[in-house]
Amino acid sequence: SLQDKNALHLYSVNGKYLGSETLKEEVSDLCVSGEYIVMGSLQGFLSIRDLYSLSLSISPLAMRLPIHCISVTKEYSHILVGLEDGKLIIVGVGKPAEV
């Protein structure tokens, strides 16, 4: 974050710059899960981005409170979101019939 400008930068394992994406929110936590980046922001948005293109996979989900931590279950079936007020939100991953 540099004077209200936030960006996500992507590098290869060899240190080659692959790309970047400017972000509107301030990232509080993120995790890489398979081919996706799951991010939480202080503005209360949960975002899922493609690992290689950095583009949004779905529109951000509003949690209404700042997100403090993110975790994905080992089966990739749920995203666990810890909020500022201590609540734990569990978000199902997949199509509605699968969740």
Per-residue pLDDT of 48-74, as tens digits, reads: 999 999 999 999 999 999 999 999 999
Per-residue pLDDT of 16-56, as tens digits, reads: 999 999 999 999 999 999 999 999 999 999 999 999 999 99
Q: What is the CATH number of the domain that holds 35?
A: 2.40.128.630
- What's the structural domain count of the chain? 1
Write out the DSSP string of 63-96.
Answer: -SS-EEEEEE-TTS-EEEEEETTS-EEEEE-S-T
Domain that holds residue 39: 2-92
Structure tokens at 46: 């949960």
Structural domain includes residue 97: no
- pTM equals 0.85
Structural domain includes residue 31: yes
Structural domain includes residue 78: yes
Q: What is the pLDDT of residue 19?
A: 94
Structural domain includes residue 99: no
Q: Which of 44, 63, 48, 54 is nearest to 11 (CA)?
A: 54
Helices and strands in the chain: count of H runs, count of E runs = 0, 9
CA dihedral 39→42→43→45, nearest 10 degrees, is 20
